[in-house]
Amino acid sequence: MYDVILFLKFSRVMLYFVTIFLSAFLLFLVQPMIAKVILPDFGGGASVWAICMLFFQALLLGGYLYGHGLIKWFKPRNQFIVHACLILIAVTFTPIAVNTLSIGSSPQMTILATLLFSIGLPYFVLSSNAPLIQRWFAYDKPKTSPYKLYALSNIGSLIGLVAYPFIIEPFITLESQLMVWSVAYWCFVGCSLALIAMLVVKLKELRESSKDHQSTQYTVTVIPWIGLSALGVIALLAVTNSMTQNISAIPFLWLLPLSLYLISFIICFGRERVANRQVWLGVTALSLPIGILLFFFASMFSIVAQLFLYGFILLAVCMLCHGELVRMKPDSKRLTLYYLAMSVGGVVGGLFVNFIAPWLFDQFIEFPLVIWLTLTTLAVLTIVRGNKSHALTQFGLPIYLIAAAVGFVMLNNLFQQYDVIAERNFYGQLAVKDVTVNGFNERRLVDGTTSHGTQSLNPANRDEPLSYYRRGTGVEAALSTLQQKGPINAVIIGLGAGTLAAYGNKADSFTFFELNPLVKDYANRYFTYLSSSKAEVKVSVGDGRQLLSRYDENDIDLLVVDAFSSDAIPVHLLTREAVALYANSINDHGIVALHISNSHLDLVPLVFGLAEEANLASVFAVTDATKSSDNTAQWVLLAKNGDVFHQPTIKKITSPWPSSTSQPVIWTDDYSNLLSVLK
């Protein structure tokens, strides 16, 4: 009998661990999975992940609010019954499937609605699990701290994140990933119901009152919980946006910052002494000038350097915020209120980055701003609490923060002095700048930190195509070769300043597909390539791949793929399935021109591999920078009939394939590996 009792106790303890681990694992495993499924429907932009994170934070808040209310207003037995019923209802929404909904013209609301109807209730149940399990653990074992379970929960979350890019994504198709996740969710349901059944049996031994009488007089404490949590989430999203706008919006670059965010929780809740306030205050103070440097000059650093510096900044801010949160944690009776306040902070941070910051700023200023605000918050908390602090912290830190703010404003004024206009929307940060380069007066369309089109301000040269599209480049050779045979039908994915319209002849048809409506507006208002073109020019707003798949005519002479978000490539435009669509869209004598100029990625082996697999003829064209143009332009031309590449115009610009093509790379809609194309 004694052995049976021991076994039951051990089984119950193990169920606590397994259930909370599984819920956290599944909670974070599904995030990149679902985001990757919907990413192509929204142009592959960096902001998709930020909106997804807002959704996840909002449902986490809903789950914590539900858990807090359940604990506060229901007796333990009724808590178990209500939660078991919710679990059983949620399981009817599995296996999960994703169908993109359309909610007006707002991509943000469309993403939120799609996620809600795809994963909403199962995710809500997972979100509520951590605080409930910890509170039930406190019922069961009042002498043991439940916060250790929170550290275990974050370990499960971290493993879920790491598993996706290295174990799940490379070997399992997206459709199968959703089914595998659903099967694991059913295992979680089984463990949860088993734990609830065991707790019901033990109910008679519980001495907990029917309600947790939590005082409402905790405003002074709750506000810092919310504020510190919000700062951590703002740092997470701001760093992720900054990284992906210049590299690529792929799961690996979403998960690296989120992993560091979770690691800070694991360290702070598992080894509180490591989160020393003075140490991390100093590290965060050091990260402030680094953040300002990255804000202005990130594109000048290699990808590895960027990842290291962004990661350093994020870890410093999160260790400072979360370390302070751990020092303020309450006893177990206020545990659900504590987690509820933290989740409110998460939603506040998500709302700030996704809605408030784009409304307040026309740049991604929240990135350096969150470092400054974190240091300011810690300085204020130290003064308000009357904590003993070094004179350097008490007097030096405020002076340092004032100097940093003044320095940033001065640098930013210099950076913006050439702006004609600058705005920011869901798709990124856009500006028109009038600059003088090597004695030439030019107008540039700048997306993030990358020029997406240049036009001379000299009226005599206004119709001359410049930059990556200048004469002597691969795309110009393709255009002139096809135009020698008569009028052409050209489709261009990516508008930019509309530079390619300058090559249009009378009777030519040029159709541009552009994701960002602001780009269309700027190309028409501040550049003249579109209006002065001799060709018939049309601009359609939407994702290029989706618009191409619905294009009425499948007799395209020239298809140009030139879609970038800042310097980042939309991955779904460079996959096996995308190239197959391109090949089906052109006629037998047509050409596909792929623009692959990139500061950080070597896309040559990727495009070479995709062309080989699709059995398409291909040539590589590099046009080096000159005095009048500081851009080296790289283009790859593909064709069904390789004879077109024997034309003198194309042979003249053809370059030897680089040695990197000896190891060709293949990306698919289900799998892409950024590491395979790093320079």
Instruction: Give residue limits of the domains in the chain.
Output: 1-204, 225-335+356-417, 468-677
* Rounded alpha-carbon distances, angstroms, from residue 345 to 105, 199, 341: 29, 32, 6
Q: What is the pLDDT of residue 385?
A: 64
Q: Is the pLDDT of residue 336 over 80?
A: no
pLDDT over 60 at 669, yes or no: yes
Exposure string (b/e) for 466-485, b if CB count within 10 Å is 16 or more?
bbbbbeebbbbbbbebbbee
* CATH placement of domain 1-204: 1.20.1250
Q: Could you please report the per-residue DSSP string of 380-425?
A: HHHHHHT----HIIIIIHHHHHHHHHHHHHHHHHHHTTTEEEEEEE
Q: Please determine, for residue 288, whether its predicted confidence score (pLDDT) is greater than 70.
A: yes
Specify whether the CB–CB gap between 631 and 625 falls below 8 A: yes
Taking the mean position of all CA atoms in its chain, how far away is CA 472? 36
For the chain, give the percent of residues with pLDDT over 70.
Answer: 88
Other CB atoms within a 10 A radius of the CB of residue 234 amount to 27
Return the closest-CA partner of residue 511 out of 492, 531, 530, 535. Answer: 492
Is residue 72 very low, low, confident or very high in pLDDT (cuts 50, 70, 90)?
Answer: confident
Question: In the predicted model, what is the mean pLDDT of the chain?
Answer: 84
CA 424 vs. chain centroid, Å, equals 16
Mean predicted confidence (pLDDT) in 389-397: 65
Q: Which two tokens stand for residue 555?
A: 């007799």
3-state helix vs strand vs coil in the chain, percent to 5: 65, 10, 25
CA distance 367 to 374: 11
| pLDDT of amino acid 606 | 92
Q: Output the pLDDT for position 585.
A: 93
Q: Could you read off the pLDDT of 628-651 as tens digits, one per residue?
A: 666 788 999 999 998 899 999 999
Angle, CA 667 vertex, CA 661 and CA 668 arms, to 5°: 150
Q: What pLDDT sits at residue 388?
A: 57
The whole-number pLDDT of residue 211 equals: 46
Please say if the pLDDT value at position 253 is more than 50. Answer: yes
Nearest C-alpha neighbor of 46 from the set 243, 234, 244, 237: 244
Give me the pLDDT at residue 540, please.
93
Which stretch, 15-29, 470-484, 536-550, has highest mean pLDDT?
470-484
Look at strands 419-425 and 428-437 and give their pairing: antiparallel
Cis peptide before 465 (omega within 30 of 0): no
Confidence class for position 527, pLDDT limits 50, 70, 90: very high
Regarding pTM above 0.75, the answer is yes
Confidence of residue 250 (pLDDT cuts 50, 70, 90): low
pLDDT for res 1? 43
Q: Render the burial of 454-465: b for 16+ CB within 10 Å, e for the rest.
A: bbbeeeeeeeeb
What's the whole-number mean pLDDT along residues 334-351? 86
The mean pLDDT value for 159-180 works out to 83
Spatial separation of the C-alpha atoms in residues 111 and 52, rounded to whole Å: 7
Maximum C-alpha span of the chain: 98
Is a pLDDT exceeding 50 seen at residue 473? yes
Local structure of 588: helix, strand or coil: strand
pLDDT tens, residue by residue, 133-143: 888 877 777 76
Query: How high is the pLDDT of residue 463?
Result: 92
Task: Give the model's confidence band at 580: pLDDT under 50 very low, under 70 low, under 90 confident, else very high.
Answer: very high
Asked if 374 and 317 count as a contact pair (C-beta separation under 8 A), the reply is: yes
The answer to whether 295 and 176 have CB atoms below 8 angstroms apart is no
Q: Is 640 helix (H, G, I), strand (E, B) or coil?
A: coil
Residue 8 has pLDDT above 50, yes or no: no
pLDDT band at 315 (very low <50, low <70, confident <90, very high): very high
Class of the 468-677 domain? alpha beta
pLDDT at residue 657 tops 80: yes
Range in 45-49, 87-91, 115-119, 363-367 the model is least confident about: 45-49
| pLDDT for residue 417 | 87
Which pLDDT score, from 0 to 100, does residue 6 have? 44
pLDDT band with cut points at 50, 70 and 90 for residue 583: very high
Q: Spell out the residues 6+ positions from residue 230 whose beta carbon is closer than 8 angstroms to its own.
A: 345, 346, 348, 349, 352
Read off the amino acid at residue 187: C
Q: Is the pLDDT of residue 190 over 70?
A: yes
pLDDT at 451 over 70: yes
Nearest residue to 497 via CA among 543, 441, 539: 539
CA distance 78 to 101: 37
Q: Helix, strand or coil for residue 297?
A: helix
Determine the straight-line distance between the first and last CA of the chain, rounded to whole angstroms: 66
What pLDDT is recorded for position 105?
62
pLDDT of residue 391: 55
